[in-house]
Amino acid sequence: MMLEEKLKEAFETIKEVLSFSNNPVVMSSFGKDSMLLLELLKRSGYRFPIIFHKEPFFPKKYQFANWVIQ
């Protein structure tokens, strides 16, 4: 499957899943999978509140996430 086909399928899946929700939010770890999901949502034109849960024990672990958030 070519990239364009994968993107089209991803956008269709996002649209279908969101049709079941009235007030969606996105939970993100800002890891590679979450970043891809956020990019797909952005390209789809959707804007949602993003929930990011982090533990205070490993501040260096969250440097990239903090950078993206800022």
Per-residue pLDDT of the chain (70 residues; tens, 9 = 90+): 899 999 999 999 999 999 999 999 999 999 999 999 999 999 999 888 999 988 888 788 888 888 988 8
Q: What type of residue sits at position 34?
A: S
Query: Which token pair is 10?
Result: 């991803």
DSSP per position, 19-70: TT-SS--EE---SHHHHHHHHHHHHHT----EE----TT-GGGGHHHHHHH-
What CA–CA distance (Å, rounded) separates 20 from 33? Answer: 22
**What is the reported pTM?**
0.79
Q: Are 55 and 17 spatial neighbours (Cβ–Cβ below 8 Å)?
A: no
